[in-house]
Each structure stands twice: as structure tokens, then as C-alpha cells.
Amino acid sequence: MKDKIVLITGASSGIGKAMAFAFGREGARIVICARNAAALATVRAELEQAGITVLALTADVSVEADVKQLIDQTIAHFGRLDILINNAGISMRSMLIDTDPAVIQKVMDINFMGTVYATRYALPHIIQAKGSIVGISSIAGFRGLPVRAGYSASKFAMNGFLEAVRTELLHTGVHVLTACPGFTASNIRVAALDAHGQAKGETMRDEESMMSAEECADHILRAVKSRKRELILTGQGKLTVFLNKLLPAFMDKMVYNTLAKEKDSPLKQ
């Protein structure tokens, strides 16, 4: 990672922030972006204090012009781009029957179209560097999760998109990694949208029992170094993906029953 230019979207907290530190400690020069300028400035100061070279750029990945400018500013500042990590994401938690379709549209715009925009505009530079494109997806991209239909749809879309792009780039030397954390301690559940598009402001799960964002970031760093095709994290995540292929009807019941136990779950137990 020495002197590699690594761009991480959604890096003001959680896994994105943890990856900025993980890659930065390995000698990479980091570009972090997020919508929240104040939170981004705090992370930039923390990275600089740790001796990591960092460029912080405010951008909304759901806005194509923002993303194009993000890539242009990265190239103008560093002259190259080696690794793009599509991490920016938002979740939602409500039953489909109660959900305003605009909420699902917002989730798709950030999680999926944000990945499309960043990958498209970074691609010429990544091809030139024979670098890496990383998508931070989810187990929800392999197994649809009830009460999170829009989130699952966005991650299924991301997985299919990255698989197609990987195949297109087969003979270019570009590495494409789809990284799928299981439940990881981060801000994503607190910021999850409700049926009307408002942030819920609290988590419905026991965050302390989950994989930490830092551990998740270390796994992703190693996967990029070894140019892995796919990374599925946590024992629960691996088991879910495996059993969903083998016993899908059984998993419908298992997933339902598991998520029905969440705090304030709308699913009947």
C-alpha cells in the first residue's frame, strides 16, 4: 500500500473511517469523502495526527456532478488513483406496505447509483494503475432481509454490478472486490431511514456483540492486498450465504424468526 492513492466514500464514521486508518497506516495516501463536512473535518484531523496523508472532500455520492468533481479533484491533487472503495451507504427499516417508495429510491441512489457514478468516473484512472475497485456490500446482497427490502435491493444491485464490471475488466489487470460484512458495529443502523425517510436515531441490535468496524477494515485491507474476488465476513454471514443457496425455504423461516426478535420489530413472532 506504500504511496497508493486510496479513495474511500462515506468515510466520516464506521467502516469507512476505520478503513482510512487501516490503509493509511500501511503507507497509503487517503482521500476521504462524505456529506457531513464537520464530521469529515474531524476524521481528517485524526488521520493527520496519526501521520497519515489525507485529502478530505465533501461530496454526496447520489449526485453525479459531486462524484465527477470528487474524482477530478483527487486526480488534480495526487495525479493518480489506485484504489476506489465504494463504502458510502444508508439503510432503511420498515415494512414495504408502510414504506414511501421515495425512501427506497433514496437508498438506491446512495448505495447503488453512488457506486455506479464513482466506479464509472474513476475507471480510466484505475485501469491505468491496474488498481482495485472495492464495493462494501452486505450479506443482505445475498439474502433478502425482511423490513429492509430497499437496502437488500440496493446491495443485490451492487453485487450484480460489480460482478459484471469484474468480467468486463477481466483482461485489464484491474482487481474488483465485493466485500460483504455481516452485522458490524457502526452508525448505519442509527442512521437507518424509517417508512417516511426519517433517521431512526437508535439501533435495534446489540452493537457490542458484533464485529468491530476496525476488525472489518483489517479484513478488507488484507483482501485488497491479496486481490481477492469476494469477502464474506462473520460466521453468521458465511452460514447465511451458504444455507440460503442450499435450503432457501428453510432460510426464509430462519431469517424471519431471527429478525422478528429485534427491538420493536414489526414482524410477528
Q: Is 151 a catalytic residue?
A: yes
Classify the C-alpha dihedral 7-13-19-25 as positive or negative.
positive
3-state SS, residue 42: helix
List the 5-9 sheet strands across, edge first: 54-58, 29-34, 5-9, 83-86, 132-136, 175-180, 230-232
Kindly state the helix (H) or strand (E) to which residue 54 belongs, with its residue range: strand 54-58
The DSSP code for 57 is E
- Among residues 117, 121, 151, 256, the one annotated as catalytic is 151
- From CA 21, how far away is CA 43, in angstroms rounded? 10
Residue with cell 497509503: 28
Cell of 1: 500500500
Q: List the catalytic residues.
A: 151
